[in-house]
Amino acid sequence: MITIKDNFLHKDWIQELENTSMVYSKVHWIGRNAEPENMFHELVHEIYAQNLHLIYYNIDENCPSILFENSYLSGATAWWNIRPIDPKPHSDLISYCTANGVDYTPDPPPDRTFLYYLKAPTTGGRLNIYTKPPLENMNWNESETDSIAVIPNRLVSLPIEYVHAVQPYLGNRVSIGVIFWKTLPIIYGTTDPNINASFERPWVQEENQESNIKLTEEYIG
């Protein structure tokens, strides 16, 4: 299921998020029990609070939040998408959990990717989500592609295994991706719900890019 929620944050929070200063090239870990250090961290906690029924997909959304206080989730990874270079169709599960062609997906794997849109480009930049196999060579039938507009203060979620890609655009397109985990892939080190930390992005490392593309092609083939 793909979900869209507009007007997600209060306008004061948006301005504070835009002014947040941090290392944009890293993957940031926000531990569930760690104190938020900035509005970026607060955004992750807010996404969690408003989407329990999606994060815990088998729980009714009308259940009181107290049921989740002892949940098994340890925290979330979050990252800035500011200027992707030649973005390719990809699955976040493969991007996050693969290094040197080896699959490090934890058990259980996360269920969903959340994408929060902070800025929209001048033209283009829609999010294409591909839920069916491609026609050939990573090309999809347009009628079988879910295309979502980039609207500021919009929150989108999709199953983490779905293949997706950003379409070409002009201007300033800024989004924040978030994934909630019980246990991180071991390539990130120890999973600690009591800290906030940051890691290198494995999917941008040159030695991983070719194998990730191949694994994605095999997955959707």
User: Degrees (nearest 5) of the Cα angle 82, 85, 88?
Assistant: 110
Best-predicted range by mean pLDDT among 49-58, 79-88, 105-114, 201-210? 105-114
Least-confidence region, from 10-14, 106-110, 194-198, 203-207: 203-207
Q: Using CA atoms, how far apart are residues 43 and 36, in angstroms rounded to an integer?
A: 9
> Which domain does 177 fall in, by range?
3-220
Written as one letter, the residue type at 15 is Q
Q: Find out whether 44 and 79 touch, Cβ atoms under 8 Å.
A: no
- Residue 174 has which token pair? 């800024």
Element (H, E) at 43: helix 39-50
The residues with which 164 forms a beta bridge, in sequence order, are 90, 129
**What is the CATH number for 60?**
2.60.120.620
Number of domains in the chain: 1
Q: Using CA atoms, how far apart are residues 221 and 35, in angstroms rounded to an integer?
A: 43
Q: Using CA atoms, how far apart are residues 171 and 176, in angstroms rounded to an integer?
A: 17
> 21: Cβ–Cβ under 8 A, 6 or more apart, which residues?
38
Q: Give the confidence band of 10 by pLDDT, cuts at 50, 70, 90.
A: very high
Q: Which residues of 193-207 are buried (b: 16+ CB within 10 A; e: fewer)?
A: eeebbeeeebbeeee
User: Degrees (nearest 5) of the Cα angle 38, 8, 79?
Assistant: 45
Question: What pLDDT, in 10s, does the model give residues 29-72?
Answer: 999 999 999 999 999 999 999 998 888 754 455 554 444 444 67
Element (H, E) at 154: strand 154-159
